């Protein structure tokens, strides 16, 4: 005999909460997981993906990639993408791309679960958006597409670079 019991609403942030607390994850991974808690699933996924693609494009020297990254960081919307970028800035391009790809994978699965729940008309647990405004809080970075990459883009130890102090 199968018994049914109420388990409550599904928490779409449960994996992000677990990853944020997992001591086996790097501090960078724990930070971006924490920063993503409460962000609407599709917005979080597409924002992280767009940021990763732009950073990867700059790293690979793609035409227009610097302009795209400058536009992302200078846009007048909530600070989620800037938050992700500045949590990882200066840590080395390999770690930045690895962390963004890792987060993107988690967020992609979260969007699938979200879509499945909504199609089934089974609403997830209420999410509290961590951003209180849809516009940036404070000054924006320069949107100049001719920015110069700093040493973390080319002296990354994971790329064989040497950082001398």
CA-based nearest residue to 15, from 89, 94, 124: 124
Residue bearing tokens 């790097």: 26
pLDDT at 6: 67
Q: Tell me the whole-structure pTM to 2 decimals.
A: 0.82
| Residues in contact with 46: Cβ distance below 8 Å, sequence separation at least 6, in sequence order | none
pLDDT at 99: 98
Q: 45-88, pLDDT tens digit by residue?
A: 999 999 999 999 999 999 999 999 999 998 888 789 999 999 99
Distance separating alpha carbons of residues 143 and 141, to the nearest angstrom: 6
Q: 95-147, pLDDT tens digit by residue?
A: 999 999 999 999 999 999 999 888 888 888 888 777 766 777 666 676 777 77
């Amino acid at each position: 005999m199968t018994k049914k019991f109420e388990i409550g609403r599904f928490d779409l942030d449960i994996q992000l909460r677990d990853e944020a607390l997992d001591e086996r994850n790097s501090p960078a991974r724990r930070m971006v997981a924490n920063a993503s808690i409460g962000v609407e699933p599709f917005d979080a996924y597409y924002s992280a993906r767009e940021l990763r693609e732009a950073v990867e494009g700059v790293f690979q020297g793609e035409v227009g990639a610097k302009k795209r990254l400058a536009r992302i960081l200078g846009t007048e919307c909530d600070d989620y993408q800037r938050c992700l970028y500045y949590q990882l800035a200066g840590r080395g391009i390999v770690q930045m791309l690895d962390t963004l790809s890792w987060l993107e994978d988690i967020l992609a699965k979260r969007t699938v679960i979200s879509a499945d729940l909504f199609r089934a008309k089974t609403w997830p647990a209420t999410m509290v958006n961590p951003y209180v405004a849809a516009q940036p809080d404070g000054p924006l970075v320069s949107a100049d597409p001719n920015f110069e990459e700093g040493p973390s883009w080319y002296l990354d130890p994971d790329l064989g670079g040497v950082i001398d102090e």
